[in-house]
């Protein structure tokens, strides 16, 4: 992606450049990082996209701003507020048209096509897909062309045109094979599996689904894997219910890994259906309740309503009449608010069946009659026109009545004006007194607030001074001593260069090691004081890099388990620096002494505290004998300076566990 963007940047300029090549590379680097983590964590991807957008505006790089807007709009589809997708996409499209960047413009239309398709706005979706092909992707065929073909297949599936669906999907797969594009192959294979399953060709369905899962495992595409396992579970539910449930558990696992709430809710709903078929109605109901809560949070009214219908059915099957009626009512309210006749039809049908099972034939008949009415209304445009005309007449009559009432009100109001003038004279004096008193009170509040702000500012400056002193001390103690050691080793190696080259070589190796150590220390200090790194999402990246750099040479596997709430939290410079140093010390000790094969690193948030647990499966040690070591003392001291706690437990042969807890800002 970055190479393509840079090529376009060179060949098509727009206005006078206010940015350097270094700025351009940094912006595209942020966008590439957003691409890399989008399949793993949407929040982290959004963070990098916003960094690119902010830097583009700051450096007045219009092209970078356009790409960032399109990326933010695309990611917004997976957040709890997808309603702003059109705003970002259209803003990016406007920049693309102004720059005459056909690739950017085509991508904008592609992403809008995807958004409208999942919003069930099929006519708008098809138009944008056609624009994407006409503007760029049909002429310059690439992996994006395959995506458009594949999405058009999905679109025709939603419209019930299955022959066209398979035609477009096969077209996409042929292009993916030609380009050797794994993403395109995985996407089209997945969609073809669904298409063949609908057409009754289960053999081809399973073949394509297995290929999609294999490729997506290679790519690490967790969103795609969750969708594929969902599909596999649905296909197997009639053949082997236990196998279907096993695959659905994998779908839920990968969905939770992505952090995409809508995907998690959809996976839970499918598991509910499987549990229902298994006869475990209570478990199925609990799963549907969780899915409903998520769809309500994300604002997906359509799914919330249909999951409520399913929950009502399960409630009825376990004999909970009150809950069943409550879920039916929720679905009916949503259908009424959104004026969705199809949904009202479905709610009425399920309620009719429920009351029939309850032998409540009166309500069963009433709901079945409503079902028939809604079903007929779906295709009666003339009826809708007549209703609109009646509504217009009613509104006109209502306005005429309101005008008559206003005439009467005007006469009454004229009589009241004279009375109000007398009251206003008395109220004016009282109002002036209240205003004067309020002004004095506001002045006092303002004075006290300024004093409070000044006090807080002084406290912040004191904290900053203390932090700078700590950094200066670290620079003097650690880096100063390292430089002194390098100087001595340099002199000794120089003296031995001609006498003993082997010894001189060993000294030079030590110089290299100490220089690398000093460079790492300097990098840590610079990283810890950059405000951009306040978010724990950025610290997690740093922690992963350090763990990989330190443990991989020792063949130690590092497993990170991170609570999603942690990524949204922040640490100040002092907290960030000391917390990271504790983590480094723990990882270094594991690498040097543990003789472990794996390390588990857990980051989680409990109320207003950050918890870090580092656990290895190494040889362990007697804590009482080594508690006085510098490393353990330093970790304890740093945790205490952050008003936190430090605990270490170990037994010989059973590994070591370090637990650190600090308060969040």
| pLDDT digit string, tens, across residues 354-379 | 899 889 889 889 888 888 887 776 55
* Rounded mean pLDDT, 627-653: 87
The answer to whether residue 364 is domain-embedded is no
Place of tokens 């997708």: 85
CA atoms within 13 A on the CB side of 378: 12
Distance of alpha carbon 623 from the chain centroid: 41
The answer on 482 and 448 residing in a single domain is yes
Contacts of 140 (CB under 8 A, 6+ apart): 103
The answer on 544 and 520 residing in a single domain is no
Range with the lowest mean pLDDT among 182-186, 271-275, 633-637? 182-186
Please report how the helices 222-236 and 182-198 are oriented relative to each other, as an axis angle in degrees rounded to 10. Answer: 20
* Rounded mean pLDDT, 277-283: 90
3-state DSSP helix/strand/coil % of the chain, to nearest 5: 80, 5, 15
The answer to whether 255 and 239 are in contact (CB under 8 A) is no
The answer to whether residue 116 is domain-embedded is yes
The answer to whether residue 546 is domain-embedded is yes
Cβ-based neighbour number of residue 411 at 10 Å: 8
The answer to whether residue 357 is domain-embedded is no
Predicted local distance difference test score (pLDDT) of residue 541: 87
The answer on 606 and 502 residing in a single domain is no
What span, in angstroms and rounded, lies between the C-alpha atoms of 208 and 173? Answer: 11
The answer on 112 and 173 residing in a single domain is no
Q: Which of 573, 568, 569, 570 is nearest to 460 (CA)?
A: 573
pLDDT band at 518 (very low <50, low <70, confident <90, very high): low
Predicted local distance difference test score (pLDDT) of residue 529: 64
Domain range for 636: 532-663
The answer on 563 and 613 residing in a single domain is yes
The answer on 490 and 439 residing in a single domain is yes
Predicted local distance difference test score (pLDDT) of residue 519: 65
What span, in angstroms and rounded, lies between the C-alpha atoms of 204 and 188? Answer: 13
What rounded mean pLDDT belongs to the chain? Answer: 82
The answer on 120 and 86 residing in a single domain is yes
Q: Among 96, 112, 138, identify where a domain stops.
A: 138
Is the model's pLDDT at 383 over the cut of 50? no
The answer to whether residue 130 is domain-embedded is yes
The answer to whether residue 299 is domain-embedded is no
The answer on 595 and 500 residing in a single domain is no
| pLDDT digit string, tens, across residues 385-398 | 444 444 554 455 55
The answer to whether residue 58 is domain-embedded is yes
Q: Among 138, 173, 200, identify where a domain stops.
A: 138
Place of tokens 């057409």: 199
The domain spanning residue 97 has which CATH number? Answer: 1.25.40.10
| pLDDT digit string, tens, across residues 131-145 | 999 999 999 999 899
Q: What percent of the chain has pLDDT over 90?
A: 26
The answer to whether residue 255 is domain-embedded is no
| pLDDT digit string, tens, across residues 21-30 | 888 999 999 9
Higher pLDDT among residues 79 and 543, named by residue: 543
- Any idea how long the chain is? 665
Q: Among 114, 138, 162, identify where a domain stops.
A: 138
The answer on 608 and 565 residing in a single domain is yes
pLDDT band at 425 (very low <50, low <70, confident <90, very high): confident
Here the tokens at position 215 are 């490729």
| pLDDT digit string, tens, across residues 139-174 | 999 989 988 998 998 888 888 787 888 889 888 888
Is the model's pLDDT at 461 over the cut of 80? no
What span, in angstroms and rounded, lies between the C-alpha atoms of 61 and 64? Answer: 6
Range with the lowest mean pLDDT among 90-99, 131-140, 262-271, 419-428? 419-428
The answer on 577 and 447 residing in a single domain is no
Place of tokens 């300029």: 13
Domain count, the chain: 4
The answer to whether 327 and 339 are in contact (CB under 8 A) is no
Is the model's pLDDT at 471 over the cut of 70? no
The answer on 90 and 4 residing in a single domain is yes
Is the model's pLDDT at 453 over the cut of 50? yes
The domain spanning residue 569 has which CATH number? Answer: 3.30.565.10
The answer on 150 and 121 residing in a single domain is no
pLDDT band at 126 (very low <50, low <70, confident <90, very high): very high
Contacts of 632 (CB under 8 A, 6+ apart): 626, 648
What span, in angstroms and rounded, lies between the C-alpha atoms of 607 and 244? Answer: 37
């Amino acid at each position: 992606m970055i190479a393509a963007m840079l090529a376009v940047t060179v060949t098509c300029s727009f206005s006078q450049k206010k940015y350097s090549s270094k700025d351009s590379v940094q912006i595209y680097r942020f966008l590439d990082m957003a691409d890399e983590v989008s399949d793993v964590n949407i929040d982290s991807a959004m963070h990098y996209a916003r960094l690119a957008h902010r830097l583009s505006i700051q450096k007045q790089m219009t092209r970078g701003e356009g790409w960032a807007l399109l990326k933010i709009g695309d990611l917004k589809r997976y957040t709890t507020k997808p309603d702003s997708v059109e705003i970002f996409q259209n803003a990016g499209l406007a920049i693309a048209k102004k720059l005459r960047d056909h690739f950017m413009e085509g991508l904008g239309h592609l992403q809008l096509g995807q958004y409208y398709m999942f919003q069930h706005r099929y006519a708008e979706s098809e138009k944008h897909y056609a624009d994407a092909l006409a503007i760029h992707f049909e002429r310059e065929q690439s992996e994006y062309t395959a995506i458009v073909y594949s999405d058009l297949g999905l679109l025709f599936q939603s419209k019930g045109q299955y022959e066209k669906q398979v035609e477009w999907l096969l077209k996409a797969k042929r292009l993916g094979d030609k380009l050797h594009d794994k993403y395109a192959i995985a996407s089209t294979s997945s969609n073809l599996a669904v298409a063949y399953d609908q057409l009754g060709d289960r053999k081809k369905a399973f073949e394509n689904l297995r290929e999609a899962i294999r490729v997506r495992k290679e790519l690490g595409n967790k969103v795609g894997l969750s969708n594929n396992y969902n599909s596999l579970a649905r296909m197997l539910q009639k053949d082997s219910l236990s196998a279907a449930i096993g695959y659905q558990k994998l779908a839920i696992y990968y969905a939770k890994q992505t952090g995409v709430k809508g995907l998690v809710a959809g996976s839970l709903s499918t598991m509910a259906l499987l549990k229902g078929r298994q006869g475990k109605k209570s478990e199925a109901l609990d799963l549907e309740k969780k899915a409903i809560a998520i769809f309500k949070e994300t604002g997906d009214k359509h799914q919330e309503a249909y999951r409520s219908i399913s929950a009502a059915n399960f409630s009825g099957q376990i004999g909970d009449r009150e809950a069943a009626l409550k879920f039916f009512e929720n679905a009916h309210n949503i259908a009424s608010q959104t004026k969705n006749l199809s949904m009202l039809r479905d709610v009425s049908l399920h309620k009719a069946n429920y009351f029939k099972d309850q032998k409540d034939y009166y309500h069963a008949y009433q709901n079945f009659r409503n079902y028939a009415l809604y079903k007929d209304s779906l295709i009666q445009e003339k009826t809708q026109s007549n209703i609109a005309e009646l509504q217009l007449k009613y509104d006109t009559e209502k306005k005429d009545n309101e005008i008559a009432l206003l005439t009467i009100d005007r006469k009454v109001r004229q009589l009241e004006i004279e009375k109000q003038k007398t009251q206003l004279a008395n109220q004016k004096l009282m109002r002036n007194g209240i205003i004067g008193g309020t002004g004095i009170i506001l002045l006092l509040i303002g004075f006290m607030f300024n004093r409070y702000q000044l006090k807080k500012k002084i406290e912040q400056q004191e904290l900053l001074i203390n932090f700078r002193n700590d950094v200066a001390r670290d620079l003097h103690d650690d880096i100063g001593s390292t430089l002194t050691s390098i100087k001595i080793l340099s002199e000794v190696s120089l003296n031995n260069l001609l006498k003993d080259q082997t010894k001189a070589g060993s000294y030079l190796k030590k110089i290299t090691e100490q220089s690398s150590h000093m460079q790492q220390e300097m990098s840590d200090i610079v990283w810890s004081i950059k405000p951009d790194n306040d978010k724990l999402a950025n610290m997690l990246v740093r922690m992963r890099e350090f763990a990989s750099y330190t443990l991989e040479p020792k063949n130690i596997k590092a497993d990170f388990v991170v609570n999603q709430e942690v990524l949204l939290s922040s640490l100040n410079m002092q907290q960030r620096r000391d917390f990271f140093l504790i983590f480094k010390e723990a990882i270094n000790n594991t690498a040097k002494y543990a003789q472990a094969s794996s390390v588990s690193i857990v980051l989680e948030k409990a109320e207003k505290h950050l918890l870090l647990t580092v656990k290895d499966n190494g040889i362990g040690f007697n804590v009482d004998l080594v508690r006085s070591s510098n490393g353990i003392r330093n970790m304890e001291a740093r945790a205490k300076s952050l008003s936190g706690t430090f605990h270490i437990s170990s037994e010989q042969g059973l590994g070591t566990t370090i637990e650190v807890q600090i308060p969040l800002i």
